[in-house]
Structure 1
């Protein structure tokens, strides 16, 4: 489809289900490990591995000029569980001048996708990306550089909290309504990705538990 990046096309069209025993807790209480999610490669392979930190297992991601993500196809009923909580940590934040709103600057040390599937083969699907941005102000949002079907939302900006675990709690239903301009009752897929394929260099992040809950 013209204007859609290979990354986004794969996110929308080729997610597959998995199951396991820790790290993502979905709304029905069944856990699924991030390490067990299927991986989709867009440029090389971001290295994902389970590591122990402070007595808990987290997922470490290391991208070296690469871009691949972990994806889970799973329906979340936002009428029942609209609140998304997660935590992550990044080693560093790029200090260059690359514009993250451009294709050349579309790299993030940590990002979490939520996809609303629509249309035949998902080609009309929508997505929001919660991102750790290098330069865009906290709370700002902009269309993805490759397609306006995905909106990027900065939940962390700059290097001030690099090297620290940061926790988040978002009302996904409210975010989707505000950013997509319509009420959304469910999401169909979840993904995480650490990438540095456009600007090159090394990006490192750690992802902790991700779960949905009632208000």
Structure 2
């Protein structure tokens, strides 16, 4: 009887613990599972202690490379993407909607991999924009409507300050790429993401950027 009681308590405790997935686990070097992706020159990424927390430091000088994790996330289970970021060097006087200005001091993006049906591949970029207002959405200058840019932080954001962020990725995908008309259709289109990436890039402008990312976590609520 005691054994069944303990088992019941364990089940109740498990049901009341929110599901979380720490994708970086900086304190345990979980970032080592992420792979570099070089587009043009190498941005430099390293783990440091910075302004009160453990962080992934990103330095970019006329370069564009990121860190990529291939991992499927079920947005019906953990729809919320949580992170904090801080910027020390911004990229001023750029038109980030143009090819010449398509650089961002910090960005985190999620990808739905269409596989052989490449037209179904979609990417949502959460960006720290040095020049746009906060809360804007636009098509990427190179990839068009298959890649959406969403300015989570804009030109009014302060340097040297940690900003915590929390986004419902599932709802953001529906809002940026379009409502399919029913819950069933939306789930079919947006339930799973397959790739998560971090990138600080300056290859188009030739400028310098410095930014910091804390742990990146998906959560149930």
Identify whether the pair has TM-score above 0.5, normalized to the shorter chain.
Answer: yes
TM-score normalised per structure 1? 0.82
1:204: how far off? 0.6
**Which protein has the larger Cα radius of gyration, Structure 1 or Structure 2?**
2
Q: Which runs of 5+ in 1 are unaligned?
A: 1-23
Instruction: Tell me, in whole angstroms, the C-alpha distance in 2 between the residues paired with 1:194 and 1:64.
Output: 10
TM-score normalised per structure 2? 0.79
Instruction: Tell me, in whole angstroms, the C-alpha distance in 1 between the residues paired with 2:159 and 2:52.
Output: 21
Larger fraction in helix:
2
Q: Which runs of 5+ in 2 are unaligned?
A: 1-20, 181-185
Instruction: Tell me, in whole angstroms, the C-alpha distance in 2 between the residues paired with 1:139 and 1:161.
Output: 16
Q: How many residues align?
A: 187
Indicate if the aligned counterparts of 1:93 and 1:159 stay in contact, CA closer than 8 A: no
1:163: how far off? 1.0
Instruction: Tell me, in whole angstroms, the C-alpha distance in 1 between the residues paired with 2:33 and 2:92.
Output: 32
Indicate if the aligned counterparts of 2:45 and 2:58 stay in contact, CA closer than 8 A: yes
Pair 1:93 & 2:90 matched: yes
1:16-56 deviation per Cα after TM superposition (whole angstroms, max 9, x unaligned):
xxxxxxxx715xxxx87235410011111001111123564
Match of 1:41 among 38, 43, 66: 38
Equivalent residue, structure 1, for 2:133: 137
Q: Structure 1 residue runs of 4+, over 4 Å off?
A: none
Instruction: Tell me, in whole angstroms, the C-alpha distance in 2 between the residues paired with 1:99 and 1:35.
Output: 34
1:122: how far off? 4.5
Match of 2:67 among 66, 70, 93: 70
